[in-house]
Amino acid sequence: MHTVKAIYPGTFDPLTNGHLDLIARGAKIVDELVVAILRNSEKGTPLFTVPEREEMITEAVAGFANVTVMTFDGLLVDFARRQGAKAVLRGIRAISDYEYEFQMAMMNRKLDPELETLFMMPAEKYTYVSSRLIKGVFQLGGDVTALVPSLVVERLKAKVPARVGG
Ligand code: PNS
């Protein structure tokens, strides 16, 4: 039988409802979806450790029978090959995402012409949501409850000291 396995890679610091929306969409069209957290991110110091992120995502995707969570470092194409995945799933929120995503997809294609990148768009209500904005807004005392899973809100509260007003 012909089954399609895809990797949904990212930093996920932290997981947002936009990510979850994409996972739900991806899980409907591929047989197996692996959410893969990059361990050696170049994005500076993360707020959550890799095990913390892995735990949060595992809890958040528990309801999807065909979604698993893993971590990786090195090249995404090498991880995908080791996993026997045929595709990489990425979300595009706005035109501003396109250039970066296009470059990555083309580089990954150069590195492994057999690996396809699938782009999906999250629900409109999440088009402006990013992990970076969530962290920034939460750290300044803003309400992010509609934008991340409640288990992430709890983790944010535990991680980020309450902001004293002023
Ligand atoms: O959530 P992000 O930070 O946008 O995800 C970026 C990610 C993890 C998909 C990307 O940085 C990646 O695949 N890194 C692994 C290293 C790699 O394969 N680099 C070459 C791809 S152009």
Q: Which domain CATH number covers 57?
A: 3.40.50.620
DSSP state of 125: G
| pLDDT value at residue 15 | 98
Pocket probe for ligand 1: among 11, 12, 96, the residue whose CB has the most ligand atoms within 8 Å is: 11
Predicted TM-score (pTM) of this structure? 0.96
Question: Is 114 inside a domain boundary?
Answer: yes
How many C-beta atoms lie closer than 10 Å to residue 28's C-beta? 11
- Give the mean pLDDT of the chain: 95
| Beta carbons of 120 and 89 less than 8 angstroms apart | yes
Question: Is 135 inside a domain boundary?
Answer: no
Question: Is 41 inside a domain boundary?
Answer: yes
Write the pLDDT tens digit of every residue in 93-111: 988 899 999 999 999 999 9
